[in-house]
Amino acid sequence: MSAESSALKTMAKLAYQRLSSGFWQEEKLRRKNTLTILKNQGADTTAAKKYLVDHTKQQLAAVTNPVEEAQYARVKVIFDAGDGENALASLMDKELMKTMDEGARQRYIFGLSSKLQEYRDRYEKERQFNCQTMSLSL
């Protein structure tokens, strides 16, 4: 069996689990409730809809790429502590960097910087919409 067919089978199995566990029904209800709250607060529901779709995609990606989700979790803790300027250093693998030539190090750091910007954008969106919907859960 090839790696591609194995990966496809794994993805199909995960999709079946989501269907049978009620994931999509719960997700639909969560989106509806969130949009109702935001609409009642006068928030921009167009941006919220995009965020909710992105959030669902991130939930699905977290299952297939737990390493990246673990990186985001580390960065999120740093952002929560208000220490965002040290986030890039927390992502760097210093042992790996010792084995790289200068060009490879620069590409590695550039890639991490790009990933960190994605994480920062995700973090800001999560904070924005979580703050607006916190009043319901209180």
**Span 69-115, pLDDT tens digits:** 888 888 989 999 888 888 898 889 999 999 999 999 999 999 999 99
pLDDT digit string, tens, across residues 40-62: 888 778 888 888 888 888 778 77
Query: 113 lies in which domain range?
Result: 3-137
Residue 33 scores a pLDDT above 90? no
pLDDT at res. 134 = 46
User: What gap in Å lies between CA 87 and CA 84, rounded to an integer?
Assistant: 5
Name the strand (E) or helix (H) holding 29.
helix 23-40
Look at the chain and report how many structural domains it folds into: 1
User: What gap in Å lies between CA 84 and CA 124, rounded to an integer?
Assistant: 12
pTM value surpassing 0.85: no
pLDDT at res. 44 = 77
pLDDT at res. 53 = 84
pLDDT band, residue 131 (cuts 50/70/90): low
User: What gap in Å lies between CA 84 and CA 80, rounded to an integer?
Assistant: 8
User: What gap in Å lies between CA 9 and CA 87, rounded to an integer?
Assistant: 36
